[in-house]
Structure formats: structure tokens, C-alpha cells
Amino acid sequence: MYTSSAILESAGWGHWLLEVFIRNVLLALVIYAHLEYLLPEYLAKRQYLFYAVGLAACFGFYVLIKNTHDVFLTVYTGAVTQPFWKYSFYNFSIALFYMAFSLALHLSKEWYLQRKRMRQLELEKLTTELEYLKAQINPHFLFNSLNTIFFQIDKTNEQARDTVSKFADMLRYQLYECKADYVSVEREVTYLRNYVDLQRLRKDDRYDISFRSERDWGDVRIAPLVLMPLIENAFKHVSHRPDDNRIEITLGREGNRLKATIANTFDERPSSPEGGIGLSNLARRLELQYPGRHGMEISRDKGVFRVVLTLECQS
């Protein structure tokens, strides 16, 4: 078999550099294919058979091409010619070494990034808890104040009393019940209904606002406030025409799946919003809390913006 010194003496610097170039390019190709394709597409998804076949193909590709080049260099340098397969073990061991070395570096990098992300999440959690504690300035004072306002309102003014009562119930839900990972759908629907009723008070007779919900939700549970961005979005972007301004909210149940349909008319403008950052944040939250267990369809048709969200709920 040839050696580096034999290449330099017999073939010159040009062939020596070519040999180094071909070897490194082949190694780079198989390493890239392994790290960027085989690992995420097959090994990470537990498709072990396809991963093994792909890995064997990488080794076979490297060994085949390098063996061919080695035979050429052996003849060119005048070294003792060996059968084609004689170079296979050496080339395979070279490929295996660099593949293992690159994998170790890749795993070290992933471990470092994972640790970094965990530290960031811990920091964000502590910051969020601190901000929550700052915002929770004696909630008893807030509820006592609302109770005082409630009893100061004349008993004949039932609408004002009902408004204060609903607002207190919403505040209590946000401060105390939303800390859980999941809440009952029935309680969430009560919160949403109160929100819609309060928003309805702010709108005049030009707006037709409907809220329909399943009567019996049983013990089905849902992530708190996950539907809120959709309803807020509807009130934020509803049209402001002389008539035919509609917001329609329908919450139904299909087995253990919740189906929410929120539609609103909107003003046709070149820059009409499509939900903005609110829907983007909701999509991200659904990916984290309902991976593979949700669906969201968004449509704009004849002046109506519609979102249909389905969630596989806890029970």
C-alpha cells in the first residue's frame, strides 16, 4: 500500500494534496449526512431500521470511493498492488473514527445548549413568579374593594351589580384557579361567558354578539385561558359598520375533544390583520401544551374572519 511519503516522492505535491482533499471531502459528506439527516429524521424518531440502513450506506459510500482512489494511487506510486477489498477495513476504521468523534462533539454541543435552555427557562420562571408576586398586591384588598363597591350600588341597579360580580369572579379565576395546569372546561366557559357579557356592555346595538356552549361538559379539563386569545382577537378586530357587525362564539364537545369556532366580521382593508402576534403566541402555546393533540384552521371569506380550534382535552 502507498504511504504519504511515497506519494510525495513518486507523484509530487499535487497528488498528495488531491488525496488529502478527496479524503476530507468524503468524510465531510458522510458526517454531514449522519448529523443533519440520519440523526433527526430516523434515530430521533426511533426508526432504527432506516437509521441503520442509512448509516451503512454512508460507510459503504466512503469505503467504495476511497478504495477506488487508493487503488489508483497504489498503481501510480509503484507500490505493491493489493486487491480492491484489502483497503476496506482501513478506510472503514477511518470513517468510523471520524463519525464517532463528530457524534461526540455534536452530543456535547446539544448537551450544552440543552443546559443553557434549562437555565433560561428557570430564570424566566423565577422572573415570572417575581412579577406575579409583585402584581398580587394583596388580592384580598381588591376583592374587599369590589365588595364595597357592590354594596354601594343601589339595589335597583341590577345591571351594575351584575357587572361588578362578574368582574370579581373573573379576577378570582385569574388569580387563584389559573395557576393549575388544567381546569374544568365548565369553569373556563363561565369565565369566557363573563368576559363576553362585559364586552357586550361596551358595544351598542350595531353589534350582534352570540355565545353558545355545550350544556354538559362533565369532568373534561383544559389548559386555562387557552381560548381567550381567540375571543379577544374577535372583539379587537370586529368590523365597525353601520350594521351587520357580528361576533359568533360556539363551544362544542365531540367525545373528549373540544371544538371552538370563533368568527367575526371585519372591515376589508389592504392591511386587515390576520390575528397578529396573539394567534402566533397561541399556536406556539398549543405546540407546547397539546403536541399532536390539536388542530387550528383559519379562514377569511366574504368579510368574515373565522378560527376553528379543536383540542384533545384531559378527563
- What is the predicted pLDDT for the residue at 274? 55
CA dihedral 136, 137, 141, 142 (to 10 degrees): -50
CATH number at residue 290: 3.30.565.10
SS (H, E, C) 144-181: HHHHHHHHHCCCCCHHHHHHHHHHHHHHHHHHHHHHCC
- Residue-range definition of the domain harbouring residue 101: 4-122
Average pLDDT over the chain reads 82
Judge if 118 and 214 occupy the same domain: no
In a domain, 160, yes or no: no
Written as nine digits, the cell of 74 is 497504489
The whole-model pTM stands at 0.56
In this model, does residue 81 exceed pLDDT 70?
A: no
In a domain, 306, yes or no: yes
pLDDT exceeds cutoff 60 at 270: no
Instruction: Give the Å distances, CA to CA, from 262 to 210, 216, 238, 285, 298.
Output: 10, 20, 11, 18, 10
Domain assignment present for 172: no
Nearest to 256 by CA among 283, 213, 294: 294
Cα(first)–Cα(last) distance of the chain, in Å? 70
Asked, for residue 221, whether it belongs to a domain, the answer is: yes
Task: Tell me whether residue 130 is in a domain.
Answer: no
Number of folded domains in the chain? Answer: 2
Flag whether 178 is in a domain.
no
Using one digit for the tens of pLDDT, what is the confidence trace for 199-228?
988 888 899 999 999 888 888 899 888 999
Residues 115 and 19 in one domain: yes
pLDDT at 41 exceeding the cut of 60? yes
Task: Among 95, 122, 149, identify where a domain stops.
Answer: 122
- Domain for residue 57, yes or no? yes
The confidence score (pLDDT) of residue 4 equals: 56
Average pLDDT over residues 270-274: 51
84-143 residue pLDDT tens:
677 788 888 888 998 899 889 988 988 888 888 788 777 777 776 666 655 555 566 677
Percent of the chain with pLDDT over 90: 25
Q: What is the DSSP-derived secondary structure letter of residue 205?
A: T
Q: Which of 122, 156, 182 is the last residue of a domain?
A: 122
- Last residue of a domain, which of 88, 122, 156? 122
Looking at per-residue confidence, does 76 or 223 come out higher? 223
Ramachandran region of residue 302, left (φ > 0), alpha (ψ -120 to 50) or beta? left
Closest CA to 136 of 190, 179, 175, 107: 175
Question: Per mean pLDDT, which range of 70-74, 135-139, 261-265, 283-287 is the poorest?
Answer: 135-139
Is residue 239 included in any domain, yes or no? yes
